[in-house]
Amino acid sequence: DVKVTQSSRYLVKRTGEKVFLECVQDMDHENMFWYRQDPGLGLRLIYFSYDVKMKEKGDIPEGYSVSREKKERFSLILESASTNQTSMYLCASSPPAQGGSEQYFGPGTRLTVT
């Protein structure tokens, strides 16, 4: 079974803090994605990566950056957390054969910024 793990289920941070969200997958997938999920808005893509050291902006990249130094790990960074970044953050991975159509999600990190 594909396993995607995220470093924390719940996180509380203060406005202005730098926040790191970590995601690790164990299936040697090339593609990895970061989404945020808010009620009534579905999942919105923040950043994605097709390979180590590669990154592409998604639909809402403002206020975020990412790092992919190793194939299995994809980190989301909030440079200076703000209250409007309070959300559920979901990481996903997919093999290149699926081209992103079948993604495997981690359990999510519920981030609260106060």
Partner 1 sequence: GQSLEQPSEVTAVEGAIVQINCTYQTSGFYGLSWYQQHDGGAPTFLSYNALDGLEETGRFSSFLSRSDSYGYLLLQELQMKDSASYFCAVKHQGGKLIFGQGTELSVKP
Cα separation, 88 vs 114, in Å, equals 15
64 binds partner 1, rule: CB under 8 A: no
The smaller minimum CB distance to partner 1, of residues 14 and 50, is found at 50
7 binds partner 1, rule: CB under 8 A: no
The smaller minimum CB distance to partner 1, of residues 3 and 18, is found at 3
Rounded to whole angstroms, what are the CA distances from 59 to 48, 71, 103? Answer: 10, 23, 17
Tokens encoding 32: 């990895």
The minimum distance between CB 101 and partner 1, in angstroms, equals: 4
Residue 7 zone, left/alpha/beta (φ > 0; ψ -120 to 50; rest): alpha
The minimum distance between CB 80 and partner 1, in angstroms, equals: 26
CB 92 within 8 A of CB 32: yes
* List of residues contacting partner 1 (CB under 8 A): 4, 31, 33, 35, 40-45, 48, 50, 56, 58-59, 90, 92, 98-108
